[in-house]
Structure 1
Amino acid sequence: MPSLNFENAKQEFRDYYNENYDLLDGAMNSFVTLVNSLIRNSSDITISKIEGRVKERNECVKKFSRKYRATLEAEGHEYQIIDHISDLIGVRVVCLYEDDIEKIKELLCAHFEVVDITDKIAQIESTENYFGYKGLHLDLKLNEQRRTLPEYSKFVDFGFEIQIRTIIQDSWSVLDHKIKYKKSIPNSLKRRINSLAALFEVADREFREIRNATEAILQAEDLTQEQIAKETDLVQVGEATSKTKAYILNAFSFLKIANHFFPGFDFEPHKVDGFTEEIVSLKKGITRGKFNFYLRENIATVKKYKEFFENKNTGETLNPYTMIRHCLYLGDKEAFSNLLSSHVMEAFKEWLVDNG
């Protein structure tokens, strides 16, 4: 019941918290699962982590006392603490890049009822000399459609706060909270903290720009299947023509060629980078035409071996990376012998005796 008696309000909130904690925890887990599902199903957003928590009881009371109590009592407004703790249930989404934040916001606003939005990014960036925590906070509730679903029936009265931030912003928030006595330290230390915050902001921007530049390079790799085919036709086994020497295999051309032979497979960038480096280190100067030649000439044989291998070894498979290794080995056994382990190579050789 609303009142101006803080001790009564505090006890009332503690009783509510204790009686409803299991329900609050269940709601939190349900909201985390729902948010996770919505974002993971969005193909163009990469998430570092999604986590949730029910705010500690005493922290709720402290927050109310710090932010609301004095004003409410001065104005004679009766209160209940629970009405002023919008982040009793909290969810945090940590993404990779700053522009993912807006995408996540639009996605969540389309699937939840929006109660309030606090844009700490805009607040910081609207100033010219202030640096600090940046993140987007949304106060949300289940929308009308989900409130009718049985699995959410127990949680229809609960709202939650969701914080959306990048890995860099999340790191700053964690470290910033560990700095003690920030209001009392000398200005020289405050200046150093601001300098660090500015560096974090630069890092966030630079990672985004590096990603954009890398994607631009990939798009600029003007490599059609017709062009690859022409370069491949120029390739003679064991030598490269002057026309193909200019087009040394790199991660971008590897991806273009590999996607042609294995459509739908998710070639992860860091694996492509490392695998391409391994290939180039084993055969110096290998061109994209030569690489495509090895795959084109040997993929049929390797597919037959894959079928044999998987029939013989229940539950095991040859993924595209492994199939490419076998194709390259067939193309140049001397150069690419190290692409296969001795056990794998011997099994392949044995099969080739009867099927090669």
Structure 2
Amino acid sequence: MTASEPWENEFKAYYVEHSRHWVRALKYFRSLIELRLSSEFEEVVEVVGRVKTVESCVEKIVRRRYLTGISPEEHLEQIYKRLTDFVGIRIVCFFEEDVAQVAAILRQEFYVIAETNKIEELEESEAMFGYRAHHLDLSLEQSKSDQPGFKLFGSISFEVQIRTIVQDAWTTLQNKLAYKKAITKMARRKLAALAAVFESIDHDFVELRDQISTDPLAPISTEHQSPPLQSDIGDESELYSRVLSVIAGPISPAMWQRLMLDLDHLYPEWSVRVILAAIEEQLVRISSYFEQNPNINLKPILKIRLLLYASNPVRFKPMVPISDRQVFDAWSAQERGVQDAKKKALRGQG
């Protein structure tokens, strides 16, 4: 195919028209993922994203023969149907089991269009070594149409790649050396051998982590690590120490920093006095919620987010992932029903 073919010119015009919207969608999807992971999963190294360049789109269409056997009038429709990664996000984790946990969280948060576990595919083969990652094609759930971003981005699908640090390193090097290039058979054999080495390293790090965690000689720290602070050091330091005493559990520096960013965004005029008053007002209620729901996420960071949400559901709604919020809201409605029934019974007795 040449650059002058009608489908390519028409596609490039479509790309120019929509690319800015894809950039906004990327920021929105990435923020949703980071918010959800920050409340449920600490073991993420980074979440990065990109909008696919027009050149990469055209190259992929040609390389994968998306238009082979397709009539010209159906070219663009076929492209839009097959090219699902205009918006792409990569999540890098520490260990292989983290990849599966992150994938499970994303399944709960988004609608899954397609899923490919390239790690399992390779492990089912006795003789293959190569690219290892977990891919999901996602979109916003229809059930979340009340979210502010749904009207803007509900029709956009995006691809998420989840892999470990080691897998990411191998992929980066492999792409640099050989991706989309014609290389010799010997070079491919060498790449496969290196892939086997990287896979072994991934497994070795898991074994080393388990060994360190069970080593009786490993020092155990009982002190909470203080988080990195932003602008108002006094306020944040005081709030951090008071929050720890209230929730009786550690919060990692990264999660505390994310909480502060969310708080600054949703409530710019916040103060230690106001936030602590809100937390203390809802503490009994939230403690009761956790006691009555022992199987839910019990991480301290979710507890503090729920405390804020319970104090002002309108302002702090984005603080809590939608699935956790739905469970809490259902419990709250049930509790209100119980209290209303008790009040009605007391009035009847009077």
TM-score interval, normalised by the smaller of the two chains = 0.5 to 0.7
User: What is the letter of the counterpart of residue 209 of structure 2?
Assistant: R
DSSP-derived class of the 2:155 partner: coil
Could you tell me which residue of structure 2 aligns to residue 327 of structure 1? none
Q: Which has the higher contact order (CA 8 A, sep 6+)?
A: 2
User: What is the letter of the counterpart of residue 149 of structure 1?
Assistant: Q
Could you tell me which residue of structure 2 aligns to residue 78 of structure 1? 74
The structure number with the bigger radius of gyration is 1
Structure 1 position 94, deviation (Å): 0.5
Q: Give the TM-score normalised by the residue count of structure 2.
A: 0.59
Could you tell me which residue of structure 1 aligns to residue 58 of structure 2? 61
Equivalent residue for 1:175, pick from 161, 173, 176: 173
Q: 5+ unaligned residues in a row in structure 2: which ranges? A: 225-244, 254-350
1:148 aligns with 2:146: yes
Structure 1 residues 91 and 184: CA distance shift in structure 2, 3 A? closer
Q: Give the TM-score normalised by the residue count of structure 1.
A: 0.58
Could you tell me which residue of structure 2 aligns to residue 278 of structure 1? none
Counterpart-to-counterpart distance in 1, 2:9 and 2:72: 20
Structure 1 position 39, deviation (Å): 1.0
Percent of matched pairs sharing the same residue: 32
Structure 1 position 130, deviation (Å): 1.4
Counterpart-to-counterpart distance in 2, 1:21 and 1:72: 28
Counterpart-to-counterpart distance in 2, 1:158 and 1:184: 34
What do you get for the CA RMSD once the two structures are aligned?
2.8
On the 8 A contact 2:52/2:88 being kept in 1, the answer is yes
Structure 1 position 127, deviation (Å): 1.3
On the 8 A contact 1:48/1:94 being kept in 2, the answer is yes
Structure 1 residues 93 and 133: CA distance shift in structure 2, 3 A? same
Could you tell me which residue of structure 1 aligns to residue 11 of structure 2? 13
User: What is the letter of the counterpart of residue 53 of structure 1?
Assistant: R
Structure 1 position 71, deviation (Å): 3.2
* 1:238-257 superposed matches below 5 A: 251-252=218-219, 254-255=220-221
Q: How far does the alpha carbon of each residue in 1:26-59 deviate from its partner, in whole angstroms, 9 at most, with x for none?
A: 000100111111112114x411110111100121
Counterpart-to-counterpart distance in 2, 1:46 and 1:19: 38
Equivalent residue for 1:210, pick from 199, 208, 223: 208
Aligned length, in residue pairs: 228
Could you tell me which residue of structure 2 aligns to residue 233 of structure 1? none
User: What is the letter of the counterpart of residue 210 of structure 1?
Assistant: L
Could you tell me which residue of structure 1 aligns to residue 130 of structure 2? 132
Equivalent residue for 1:48, pick from 42, 45, 50: 45
On the 8 A contact 2:61/2:67 being kept in 1, the answer is no
1:200 aligns with 2:185: no
Q: How far does the alpha carbon of each residue in 1:278-301 deviate from its partner, in whole angstroms, 9 at most, with x for none?
A: xxxxxxxxxxxxxxxxxxxxxxxx
DSSP-derived class of the 2:149 partner: helix
User: What is the letter of the counterpart of residue 57 of structure 2?
Assistant: C
Q: 5+ unaligned residues in a row in structure 1: which ranges? A: 1-5, 222-249, 269-356
Structure 1 residues 87 and 159: CA distance shift in structure 2, 3 A? same
DSSP-derived class of the 1:71 partner: coil
Structure 1 residues 70 and 30: CA distance shift in structure 2, 3 A? closer
Q: How far does the alpha carbon of each residue in 1:319-354 deviate from its partner, in whole angstroms, 9 at most, with x for none?
A: xxxxxxxxxxxxxxxxxxxxxxxxxxxxxxxxxxxx
DSSP-derived class of the 1:69 partner: coil
* 1:179-194 superposed matches below 5 A: 179-180=177-178, 184-194=182-192
Counterpart-to-counterpart distance in 1, 2:250 and 2:120: 39
User: What is the letter of the counterpart of residue 62 of structure 1?
Assistant: E
Q: How far does the alpha carbon of each residue in 1:42-83 deviate from its partner, in whole angstroms, 9 at most, with x for none?
A: 14x41111011110012111111111335333x889232222
On the 8 A contact 2:212/2:218 being kept in 1, the answer is no
Structure 1 position 91, deviation (Å): 0.6
Structure 1 position 153, deviation (Å): 1.7
